Amino acid sequence: MEDEKLIVPFEIETIHRTFLERFIHKLNITIKAIIRYLFTMIMSLIGIVLLIPLSLLVNLRKVINRDETKLFELNEKIGKNGKIFKQITFGVKDDNYLMKTGLRHFPEVINIFLGQMSFVGPKAYNPEDKEKMGEYYNYIIQYKPGITGINQISSSDRLSLADRLDNDYRYHYRKNFVLDLKIILITFLVTLRKKDAYYNIKDQIKQTINDFKILFCETIKRTVDIFVGLIGTIIVIPLAILIKIGNMLCGDFGHVFYTQNRIGKNGKIFKIYKFRSMIENADEKLKVILENDEEKSKEYFKNRKLKDDPRVTKVGKFIRKTSIDEFPQFFNVLKGDMSLVGPRPYLQSEKELLGDYYNIIIKSKPGITGLWQISGRNKTTFDIRIRIDRQYNREKGLKTDFKILLKTVKVVFKGNGAF
């Protein structure tokens, strides 16, 4: 009886071939994953290196524009597998260039390096959107959020949540290397062109040089303000003693100093310091004068000042004529509320009267002196003064300020236009 042979339903060669095919397939996937990972790491590292000078330039723009927002913003987002991470972006207020070009999201290269995001992927959703995402949630969280993606290259700038979810759901089923490459190319070659957001290197270099010039001038101006403000504040002490003695000899035993709220740079309200040149409760006295004297009422509403103001004290007339009453403002200069040269520090009640000039005038710190003081001082009408202050904002600079300071000394010594 012949030995019975074992019957196998498949050949050993088939087993070897199948095993080899699976091994090659897995090896291919692993190699692609390693290449993708290395590419991502290299590109994110390059991005982080570029982020350093870019951050310095963004911070410079913030200093120039007096943007007090933080350089970086951290916002919680839903990441892969539902893990919450902090998305890093530039903090912006009114910087349209960062928004339009997408540079606001450049710091997300740090998220990519940390493995929290990808160059291409679904939108980074907020944690509070989880319930609204419904059945889409389990599909979308299978991938890392992307700096760009189908939503980002959409022709519409304001997609609804439902539309964004549909786009990311489509990305889930169509995702592959070719699609990601297309999205990256469309982002740079189509989307940015539609938004007129090209990175014009030449223009940006010019803008950066101009920003450095402005920063340099402002630094010099602030340094001079601090130095002169310190000297002026020291001089105020003996002046205050002399004025106090003079007031007492004239029977005036009120306060030496006078404070009042004024409009500062960017509309910030600050307290201005002056030597009191009027009787105490002068504001209440003014209301009585305007109600009972029609001539003075017309004069005041035209010039916002009275030439022969009955509220001015005897000592007040002298310190006004010589501009000594302005000396305590050196303390405002030292604090940073004012500058040596700038537009007039306007009253809060004058804000509406400034009209369209308001937003122009508040771009600069108010000054102890200014173009309006060397252009007639108190002889000018209110309308002329605000036009002069607008002109100063157009022409301001170290050279202009130096000329104004020299002319101020000449005007003050002659007593031109003071009352």
Handedness of CA 303, 307, 313, 315 (dihedral sign): positive
Q: Is the pLDDT of residue 1 over 50?
A: no
In the block, tokens 């050196």 appear at 330
**Banded pLDDT at 33 (limits 50, 70, 90):** confident
* Token couple for 226: 């601090």
pLDDT at residue 195 tops 60: no
Contacts of 339 (CB under 8 A, 6+ apart): 221, 222, 225, 333, 364, 365, 366, 367, 368
What are the start-end ranges of the H helices in 264-418?
Answer: 282-292, 294-303, 314-321, 329-335, 351-354, 358-361, 382-395, 398-414
Checking if the pLDDT of 151 tops 70, the result is yes
pLDDT of residue 419: 45
What is d(CA 173, CA 277) in angstroms, rounded to the nearest whole number?
Answer: 79
Q: Does the structure show a pLDDT above 90 at 194? A: no
Q: How are beta strands 339-341 and 367-369 bridged, if at all?
A: parallel
Identity of the highest mean pLDDT range in 3-17, 138-152, 195-209, 283-297:
138-152
Q: What does the pLDDT average to over 30-53?
A: 88
Q: Which two tokens stand for residue 193?
A: 């062109």
Distance CA 408, CA 406 (A): 5
> Is pLDDT of 129 > 80?
yes
pLDDT over 90 for what percent of the chain?
A: 29
Q: Taking a C-beta distance cutoff of 8 angstroms, is the pair 125, 77 a contact?
A: yes
Is 3 a residue whose pLDDT tops 80?
A: no
Are 123 and 137 a contacting pair, CB within 8 Å? Answer: no
Query: pLDDT for 370-391, tens place per residue?
Result: 888 787 655 667 788 888 888 8
What are the backbone dihedrals phi and psi of residue 116, each rounded to the nearest 5 degrees, phi first?
-95, -25
- Quote the pLDDT of residue 416: 56
What contacts 403, CB < 8 A, 6 or more positions away? none
Residue 340: what pLDDT? 93
Say whether pLDDT at 87 is over 90. yes
pLDDT of residue 218: 85
Is the pLDDT at 139 greater than 50? The verdict is: yes
How far are the Cα atoms of 104, 191, 334, 344 from residue 118, in angstroms, in the given order? Answer: 16, 19, 49, 53
CA proximity to 101, closest of 109, 90, 111: 90
**pTM of the predicted model, to two decimals?**
0.59
pLDDT number for residue 91: 85
Arithmetic mean of pLDDT, 153-168: 79
Given a contact cutoff of 8 angstroms between Cβ atoms, the answer to whether 225 and 333 are in contact is yes
Task: Please state, in angstroms and rounded to a whole number, the distance separating the CA atoms of residues 368 and 354.
Answer: 19
Three-state secondary-structure class, residue 191: helix
Split at pLDDT 50, 70, 90, the class of 414 is low
Query: Which amino acid would we find at residue 184?
Result: I
Q: What's the angle, vertex CA 98, arms to CA 142 and CA 190, rounded to 5?
A: 65
* Residue-level pLDDT at 390: 87
In tens, the pLDDT along 259-299 reads: 999 999 989 999 999 999 888 877 778 888 877 777 778 77
Confidence band of 4 (pLDDT split at 50, 70, 90): low
Mean pLDDT of the chain: 83
- Has residue 128 got a pLDDT over 60? yes
**Phi–psi pair at 284, nearest 5 degrees:** -65, -40
pLDDT at residue 359 greater than cutoff 50: yes
Neighbours of 255 (CB within 10 A): 12
